[in-house]
Structure 1
Amino acid sequence: MSMRTASVERKTAETAIKLVLNLDGRGNGVIDSGIGFFDHMLNLMASHGLLDLTLACDGDLEVDGHHSIEDIGIALGQAFKQAIGDKKGIRRYGTFYLPMDEALAFVSLDISGRPFLVYDGGEMAPMIGGYDTELTEEFLRAFAFHAGITLHVKVLYGTNSHHKVEAVFKALGHAIRQAVEDDPRVEGIPSTKGML
């Protein structure tokens, strides 16, 4: 299988983003979103998903983190859609439960071509450092819709908001890793419809 990579540049009045994604990487992240906690989460997602991700975002953080985090989700989704290519031979589905101390998160996804998000993060502290926890859902929605994936995310329980969000991003990495893997038993596109 050839390396599945993509580069995306996205520039708006609110953000300027440069992103490079390799689905067949080693988990290396070089990430600068301007929001320290979010950088940490994306690095964890890349590490656990064995994705190589290079990202630089210059956003209007003087307003808040919303535009940067949502636009990074858009750019990452666009890069994922480009990198996955024709989807031949992939496993297609990925599901992972991830414990993080007292917290447990569940992520299940389908590289279906039918974008959808179901998200239940439960109660969270409003902020973790400079990161607005409401923006977890905004990032996931932007990523799912631009990647063309069906994505279900649920925090089953936990008391520490840092742990809950971290479990989500790690589980997302693992679910992506499963879904994009080559399955030698699959010939062509893994769908009875003949397309995804």
Structure 2
Amino acid sequence: MSPKKTGKRSAKIQRTTRETDITLQLTIEGKGKGKISTGVPFLDHMLTLMTAHGFFDLTLGAKGDIEIDGHHTVEDVGMVLGEAFSKALGDRKGIKRYGTSVVPMDEALASVVIDFSNRPFLAYNVQFKRQSTGRFDVELVEEFFKAFVNKSGTTLHINLMYGKNTHHMIEAIYKAFGQALDEATIFDKRITGVRSTKGVL
């Protein structure tokens, strides 16, 4: 069942493994407020930006084996966030389904296009000039989005057009991601049922 169009769509997810322990609360009809603590400061920064630009509210606490590296935490946070969006949207009736955003961050420009299609697919056309920004391994950006796609059932295209500063590049991606999520999850009164000529996603 789909949440009522007059109500707030939300989900709470708890995921505990031998590697991570994550609790997440998502409200789609929010104000862009985030309370985020993953133990990976750069990820916290990006998720805070994503939340603010997506106008949803996100409370997220994660503990992981960051003494090894941030891989498990970043990947599992992506999984839990994807699961939360899928749960909050329910049967996806009435939503626009598609979201597109192009965002600059100084010299960097990124494009994100999302489709809540129930067909997981990631096109990730991104090349960074460095392997890390601070202590954050930039390979983990792709791992985050792979995990999100698989759990949310979305088709996601991420294109980094250009940029020089690695931090700016990643920031542009996460801001665009937040804006694309916002657009795709908005209700459109012209849409009856799901937005598909097949009648099902």
**Normalised by the shorter chain, which TM-score bucket?**
over 0.9
Q: Structure 1 residue 95: deviation in Å?
A: 0.7
**Structure 2 equivalent of residue 144 of structure 1:** 149
User: 1:18 corresponds to which residue?
Assistant: 23
Residue 132 of structure 1 aligns to which amino acid in structure 2?
Answer: D
The answer to whether the 8 Å contact 1:104/1:158 transfers is yes
Instruction: State TM-score, norm by structure 1.
Output: 0.98
Give the 5 Å matches for 1:3-152. Answer: 3-152=8-157
Moved over 4 A (4+): none
Post-superposition Cα deviations, 1:36-86, rounded to whole Å, max 9, x if no partner, equal 111000000000001100000000000000000000001111111000111
SS at match of 2:47: helix
Distance 1:124 1:144 in 2: 25
State percent identity of aligned pairs: 51
Q: CA RMSD in A?
A: 0.7
SS at match of 1:118: strand
How many angstroms apart in 1 are the aligned matches of 2:11 and 2:134? Answer: 31
Code of the residue aligned with 1:114 in structure 2: it is R
CA displacement at 1:130 relative to structure 2:
2.3
Hey, what's the Cα distance between the residues in 2 that align with 1:23 and 1:85? Answer: 12
Tell me the SS of whatever aligns to 2:169. Answer: helix
Q: 1:190 aligns with which of 180, 195, 200?
A: 195
Could you tell me which residue of structure 2 aligns to residue 163 of structure 1? Answer: 168
How far residue 123 of structure 1 moved from its aligned partner, in angstroms, is: 2.3
Unaligned runs of 5+ in 2: none
Count the aligned residue pairs: 196
**Separation in structure 2 between the aligned mates of residue 124 and residue 100 of structure 1, nearest angstrom:** 16
SS in 1 for 2:199: coil
For residues 111 and 49 of structure 2, what CA distance do their matches in structure 1 show? Answer: 16
Counterparts of 1:125 and 1:54, CA distance in 2: 30
Partners of 2:130 and 2:23 lie apart in 1 by 30
- TM-score when normalising by structure 2: 0.96
What amino acid is the match of 1:104? Answer: L
Distance 1:38 1:86 in 2: 29
CA distance in structure 1 between the aligned counterparts of 2:123 and 2:102, rounded to whole angstroms:
16
